[in-house]
């Protein structure tokens, strides 16, 4: 009985490994890949394009979350704020993590979503609402006050994080789709008692071997074989000498660069291609902005609020006096964009907090 329980525990671990490996494997082969048709498209999965601005936002989120987590860990472990050298190291680590994982995660997520939709999985409004109400960060219900969902708190926290409710709800829906797919795959996998036993034995069984080594050359001396003996042995062991099928090929190497140099494309052909592919070049209205963020936590006291306003007023005075905005942003901003001197890059409507977005789009180029 004890052995069977141990085998079942091992089987559960095996099952989860199978799920983790199978889900991406049976979806990926032959479904899509990275393309470089346009600088605005970083990848295409099942004909669904991943636009540059979508990738940039995902990259920024991974960078921000990694940096903030590392920053807090540093303070907790060292009992002090990181100096400039430590900050630079944390930024580089966050950058490497974002570069290493962002695109792979986006491709994997889309593959899983495509498979979920192919299987006809659906998410009800009630499931989505419950998932949002019960959303937790580090074990805490962040959208609840006194055990109940607070819509205003929900909207304030999303605005504080520069996330629209539509984007957040779409992301939560995607998570539910993937969770349902994983559950379905797990339920589809049936492991028999015999398979459990065999896998347990494979992982746990050990053998002890004793052996004696002989040198081949010590036994060759004095042995002579006739042609007949060699021929007879070959006839009796033909199967042992069979090899895999082989082919001999001839090929012609083509220099793509040389061919490209011969190709001449006229302005008319370029214009015609552009007209036929307008959608590939169409982008929504967007602006590029820098900002300086002084954080005030939701529910902060009037004193804290007043201190933040005085600090903002002081920075504004210095900007109007001619000081460099980028330098002030790097020095004072509490947003992760401070490492880029406050630069938020390009963003379209519906991506930022409404008041900030309205001001940014009101400026004339």
Which residue stretches of the chain are H helix? Answer: 2-28, 52-78, 84-118, 125-133, 151-160, 165-188, 193-204, 227-236, 256-262, 267-276, 278-281, 302-320, 325-332, 354-362
Domain 287-365 has CATH 3.10.310.10: no
The band of 15, judged by pLDDT with boundaries at 50, 70 and 90, is: very low
The mean pLDDT of 66-86, rounded to a whole number, is 90
The mean pLDDT of 192-196, rounded to a whole number, is 86
pLDDT at 126: 92
pLDDT at 13: 46
- The predicted-structure confidence for 271-299, as pLDDT tens digits, reads as follows 888 888 888 877 778 888 888 888 888 88
52 Cβ neighbours under 8 A, 6+ residues apart: 39, 40, 41, 42
Residue 1, pLDDT > 50, answer no
Average pLDDT, the chain: 82
**Angle at the Cα of 271 (from 269 to 275), degrees rounded to 5?**
115
Residue 37, pLDDT > 90, answer no
- The predicted-structure confidence for 238-271, as pLDDT tens digits, reads as follows 888 888 888 888 888 888 888 888 888 889 988 8
Q: Does an H or E element contain 73, and which? A: helix 52-78
pTM for the whole structure:
0.40
Residue 127, pLDDT > 50, answer yes
What are the sequence ranges of the domains in the chain? 1-30+119-205, 287-365
Nearest to 358 by CA among 259, 287, 264: 287
What distance in Å separates the CA atoms of residue 136 and residue 142, rounded to the nearest whole number? 6
What distance in Å separates the CA atoms of residue 60 and residue 159, rounded to the nearest whole number? 17
293: left (phi over 0), alpha (psi -120 to 50) or beta: beta
The mean pLDDT of 330-334, rounded to a whole number, is 89
The mean pLDDT of 36-41, rounded to a whole number, is 60
What distance in Å separates the CA atoms of residue 312 and residue 293, rounded to the nearest whole number? 9
The band of 320, judged by pLDDT with boundaries at 50, 70 and 90, is: very high
pLDDT at 96: 92
């Amino acid at each position: 009985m004890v052995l069977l329980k141990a085998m079942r525990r091992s089987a559960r671990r095996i099952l989860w490994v199978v799920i983790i490996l199978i889900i991406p494997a049976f979806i990926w082969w032959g479904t899509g890949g990275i393309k470089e048709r346009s600088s605005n498209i970083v990848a295409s999965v099942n004909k669904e394009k991943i636009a540059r601005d979508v990738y940039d936002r995902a990259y920024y989120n991974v960078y921000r979350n990694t940096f903030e987590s590392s920053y807090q860990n540093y303070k907790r472990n060292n009992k002090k704020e990181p100096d400039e050298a430590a900050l630079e190291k944390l930024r580089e680590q966050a950058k490497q993590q974002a570069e290493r994982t962002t695109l792979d995660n986006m491709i994997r997520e889309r593959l899983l979503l495509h498979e979920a939709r192919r299987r006809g999985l659906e998410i009800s409004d009630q499931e989505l609402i419950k998932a949002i109400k019960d959303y937790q960060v580090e074990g805490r219900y962040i959208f609840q006050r006194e055990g109940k969902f607070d819509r205003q708190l929900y909207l304030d926290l999303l605005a504080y994080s520069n996330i629209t409710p539509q984007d957040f709800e779409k992301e939560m829906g995607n998570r539910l789709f993937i969770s349902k797919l994983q559950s379905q795959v797990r339920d589809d996998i049936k492991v028999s008692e015999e398979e459990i036993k065999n896998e347990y034995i494979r992982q746990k069984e050990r053998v002890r071997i004793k052996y004696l080594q002989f040198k081949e050359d010590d036994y060759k001396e004095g042995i002579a074989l006739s042609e007949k003996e060699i021929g007879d042995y070959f006839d009796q062991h033909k199967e042992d000498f069979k090899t895999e099928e082989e082919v001999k090929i001839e090929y012609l190497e083509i220099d793509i660069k040389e061919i490209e140099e011969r190709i001449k494309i006229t302005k008319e052909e370029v214009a015609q291609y552009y007209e036929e592919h307008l959608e590939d070049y169409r982008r929504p209205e967007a602006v590029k902005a820098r900002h300086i963020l002084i954080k005030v936590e939701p529910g902060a006291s009037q004193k804290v609020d007043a201190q933040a306003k005085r600090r903002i007023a002081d920075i504004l005075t210095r900007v109007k006096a001619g000081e460099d905005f980028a330098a002030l942003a790097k020095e004072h901003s509490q947003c992760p964009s401070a490492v880029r001197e406050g630069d938020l890059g390009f963003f379209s409507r519906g991506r930022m907090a409404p008041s900030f977005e309205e001001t940014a789009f009101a400026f004339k180029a």
